Each structure stands twice: as structure tokens, then as C-alpha cells.
Amino acid sequence: MKLHIAEMLRAQREAHVSFHTPGHKRAGADITELSYSDNLYAPHGVLAEAERDVAHILGAEKSYLLTDGSTCGVFSMLDCLRAAGKKRVAMSAFSHPSAYHACEVMGLEPVFIAQKTAYGIPVPPTEDALSSALEGADALLLVSPDYYGFFPPLAAAKALCRAAEKPLLIDGAHGAHLHFTERYAGKYADLWVDGVHKSLPALTQGAVVSAAGEWADRLGRAVKRFRTTSPSYPILASVECAVKYPRNEAIEAASEAFKLRHGCLKNDDWTKILVPFGSLGARACALLEENGIYAEFNDGNYVMFYLSPCTREEELEQLGALLDGLPRGEVAEDAEVGCVPIYKEGA
Ligand SMILES: Cc1ncc(COP(=O)(O)O)c(C=O)c1O
């Protein structure tokens, strides 16, 4: 498949004297919006073509490339609610800070979904909990999958929102690798974010926000409010490339086999491997780091290893060989959720 942005960057003339930003005055990939490189604020050339392809792959009416992380996508989605006159959003108290900061900025009131925790991990909300929270709200915002690789009841959420004629928003900061599957946010939501840089091979901050149907134009106006007017072309090119990156079923299967072999937490997402170390997590991380292996986080109960289609099977094997020699502690059932901040008024 054509990589519009990368090919445009590759085709640049060698003789390029820069009397434009950025100030480093070198051409290469880090250019600005020039006659041939399009304009993200009003795309009509390579960026429009890239966004069109991305929308097609993600099953969206419109997709917008972001160089400002999923944070920009969450703000843009919630701005759509504000613009549509919505006042209250049912959401998890374990949402990312961007969600409640955006609520604060947009004057939206969070209505928290009843949700339990176990072993320091938020348990996905039940259908009943979604239904009760939605009764007192104008829209539903879900995180799917969460940082631990669990999914909310997506089909039930979609049915509830459809029946109540309320929009469903999904923060898929950790789910960009799912667009090949039935659990993909775009199969359920009216508005959704893909954190492309987290689970697909995009540069840090690369993301996409997408809309279905009638939300597309409103989302187009929202991203104009929040996207930078100096987008990074290396990030833009990497997002297009990452969305077009082929599925790697070999590493997906290797991850699931690894989880079984090494006594990992049973979750629903191959990109997130959780090893129960209890209070010995910090020690395990230190020993792994001595061997050049770095985990995503240690929440005091579980150490999490984040994979992508670019993870190599030999790297998993290297991790597995080291894990076998590391002592594990007991995981504490009543541990506090360690890896996501809980909503606090004014925080
Ligand atoms: C659930 C969730 N939403 C949104 C974000 C924000 O993503 P970004 O760091 O790409 O802005 C994160 C970041 O970790 C996240 O975990």
C-alpha cells in the first residue's frame, strides 16, 4: 500500500535551501508545511490522502492524524460533546487524566461508572453499571482495552447507547493494534482514539482520532482547536505507516503461549503481559534491567511487559529465560490501583 507521507518526504529535492521553519535549517524528514507537503489544518494533498487511507482501514467516516498523542484525541472527542450541547459523561474513575482534564475544560460533568478493583487492577464495568451510569449522563466514554489488557462489554455498551440515542466514545490509547479484530473500538464507537504510538510502530505522540457518520464534521472542527499548527512530519509519516503495518500473528500467538508458560495474568490482549511479582517487582525489574530488559511498569503487584507487532520472538524468549530464575512474591488482593491515577476533583 502506498505510504503517501513517507514517499513525499523521500522524493524531496536534494537542493533544498531553507528559508522556512524549523530553525535547524536542514531539510530531510523534519520539514514544515511547504508547497509540496500539504497542510494539516486544511489538508488537500498528501495529508488528505493519508487521512483518507487511514479512515478506510479503520472503518471510519473520517480519521484525523495526530502528532500530539491520544491526549489531543480525547480533548477533541470531548469537545464534540460540548459542541453538541451534552453536559454529563459517564466514564470510569480510572480514565486517563486527559479525560477528566478535558471534562474540566469543556465544562462537562463526569458521571462515574461503578467499578470494582481486584489485585490493584480495575475490573471492567458490568453491563448493569454502564446502564445505570448512562441513565444519568448524555454520553458514554470507555477505555478499551485498558492498560492491563481488559475490555469493557463493548457490544452491550453499543446497544445501550444506540437504544438511548447517546454517543459512545472510546479511548483506545492502548488498542491501535486491534483494527484487524472484532474488539476494535471503531466497530462500536461514534468517536474513538487510536494510540498508534503505543501498540503499533509509530513514533512517540503519533495517534489518530476517528468518527463514524454524522460526528465526522464536528470532529473535524474539534481537531482544528487542539492539534498543533506545526505538526511533525516524521510523526505523521510514522502514523500512516503504522496503521498500514501488517498484522503479526506469529508474535500474537507467541505472546499468548508465553503467558501460559510463565504463569502470567490471564487477560484479553496479547500486547500486554502481566507477571505477578507482588512486592518483589522492583527487584525483578532491577535484575531485568541489568540484562538490558525494560518493562512498561511495575504497579507493586504486577510487572507489565508491552509488546507490539515489532517485538521479536527471540526477545520474548530472552525475557522468558530470565523470568524463570526470578523469585516471585504473593500478589495482594486489596492492593491500590497502581498504574492509573484515580479521578480527584481539581487534580
Ligand atoms: C487510557 C489512556 N488514554 C489516553 C492516554 C494519553 O495518551 P498520550 O500519552 O498518547 O497522549 C493514555 C496514556 O497513557 C492512556 O493510558
**Which tens digits make up the pLDDT trace of 151-167?**
999 999 999 999 999 99
Please state, for a pLDDT cut of 90, what percent of the chain lies above it: 92
Q: Which of ligand 1's atoms lies nearest the C-alpha of 197?
A: 10
* Start and end residues for every CATH 3.90.1150.10 domain found in the chain: 249-324
Q: Which amino acid residue places its CA nearest to atom 7 of ligand 1? A: 70
| Position in ligand 1 atom list of the atom nearest CA 340 | 16
Instruction: Report how far ligand 1's centroid is from the alpha carbon of 74 (Å).
Output: 9
pLDDT exceeds cutoff 70 at 346: no
Cα-to-centroid distance, 76 and ligand 1 (Å):
14
Residue 22, number of CB atoms within 10 A of its CB? 12
Residue ranges lining ligand 1, Cβ < 6 Å: 69-71, 74, 96, 98, 143, 147, 171, 173, 195, 207
CA of 99 to the centre of ligand 1 (A): 9
What is the pLDDT at residue 337? 77
**pLDDT exceeds 60 at position 10:** yes
Tens of pLDDT, residue by residue over 163-193, are 999 999 999 999 999 999 999 999 999 999 9
Residue 345 has pLDDT above 70, yes or no: no
Residues near 334 by beta carbon (within 8 Å), at least 6 away in sequence? none
Instruction: Express each pLDDT in 93-108 by its tens digit.
Output: 999 999 999 999 999 9
Q: Which atom of ligand 1 is nearest to the CA of 95?
A: 1
Report the alpha-carbon distance of residue 31 to residue 230 in Å, rounded.
10
Q: What is the pLDDT of residues 298-317, one digit of tens each?
A: 999 999 999 999 999 999 99
For residue 207, give the ligand 1 atom closest to its CA.
10
Q: Whose CA is nearest to atom 10 of ligand 1?
A: 69
pLDDT of residue 28: 84
Q: Where in the chain is the domain with CATH 3.40.640.10?
A: 4-243
**181 CB-near residues (< 8 Å, 6+ apart):** none
CA of 207 to the centre of ligand 1 (A): 10
In the prediction, which pLDDT does 223 show? 98
CATH of domain 4-243: 3.40.640.10
Expressed in angstroms and rounded, the spacing between residue 347 Cα and the centre of ligand 1 is 17
Class of domain 249-324: alpha beta
